[in-house]
Homo-oligomer: A and B are copies of this chain.
């Protein structure tokens, strides 16, 4: 008989990892969080203390060797993702891994090959696919009621520039930030055949020293004839601007911004609505629960995961194509990457 709860361990308990740990403890009763792990043992211990978790380890191999553990959630720094995935796959663990899988396609391919060989499940943390509004947009456009998609528009703007030190190792705007939009584009409309990217440094000139951008637009040609445009910025002072429109032949479906609250204030200046939430963890809080809940369900019921290793790879490929397009100032076919 199938076990009632899935034994899972979390590897990496930094910002994202600790969110997953809390969600597993509080909101996903189908999972049994048996241990957490971080090379910074004190960081892991603090998270454990806070949430009453008993087992804390420093070396993730210890968890991989534990036959009681069925699945691992990887939230380590990006440059270790591929390695941990490979090790976990070899150990026969099902894997949930944060995005991006890696910055280098060879690393991704090795990891995916190990997953394939071990026949374990792999889910990539594209949290936005689990947002109720984005899901309903897809449901409307795939129902056929408003016809085929013609134009995709995504606006994705961070509230403020991340730390320069982080940006330097992030893969740059198109891989670190636009990756979510590339995945959303594939989720909403389908495969992308060609991209063209333009960008500027308008917020902080320091980015020029390591070749990053802070303001970008990427146009997309989809295999099905639809076209799209993504606009990104690293500084949106009114909040974390997350909008999307799938304009179709016989109508349109848009996801507007969520707001901090529903209050409007009227005075001599006009009618003032509240701000858009600033923090991505606030905006997408329910998605972080739902993606892991679905992962646990896939493990329990032996179903395919909703966001696969191929999805994780495809988004990185699109990010690389965007960088190539930007550097060469020409449209780049995805098949070139």
Contact = CB atoms under 8 A, between A and B. Distances in A.
Interface of A: 26-27, 132-133, 136-137, 140, 145-146, 148, 150-151, 153, 155, 157, 196, 198-200, 202-203, 215-217, 219, 221, 225-229, 231, 233, 235-239, 241, 247, 249-276, 329-331
Contacts of A148: 202
A140 B219 contact: no
Contacts of A203: 150, 249
A43 to B, nearest CB: 19
A136 B249 contact: no
A48 to B, nearest CB: 13
A46 B247 CA distance: 41
A230 to B, nearest CB: 9
9 contacts: A196-B219, A196-B331, A217-B228, A238-B271, A239-B266, A258-B262, A270-B272, A270-B275, A330-B330
Given A203-B249, A263-B133, A268 B237 contact: yes
B252 A265 contact: yes
A133 B252 contact: no
A5 B225 CA distance: 55
A98 to B, nearest CB: 24
Nearest to A202: B150
A330 B260 CA distance: 42
Copies in the complex: 4
A216 B219 CA distance: 11
A217 B229 contact: yes
Given A132-B261, A262-B255, A271-B238, A157 B27 contact: no
Given A200-B150, A270-B238, A271-B274, A133 B261 contact: yes
B270 A271 contact: no
Contact of A27 (B26, B251, B262): B26
B233 A151 contact: yes
A227 B284 CA distance: 28
B198 A219 contact: yes
B330 A140 contact: no
B217 A263 contact: no
Contacts of A221: 198
Given A198-B331, A253-B263, A269-B275, 15 more contacts: A26-B27, A136-B261, A150-B203, A196-B331, A198-B221, A202-B225, A236-B247, A236-B252, A238-B267, A252-B267, A253-B266, A254-B264, A255-B261, A256-B262, A256-B263
Nearest to A215: B150
Interface core residue of A157, A235, A252, A274 (most chain B CB under 10 Å) = A252
Contact of A215 (B216, B227, B235): B227
A40 to B, nearest CB: 23
B229 A200 contact: no
B263 A137 contact: yes
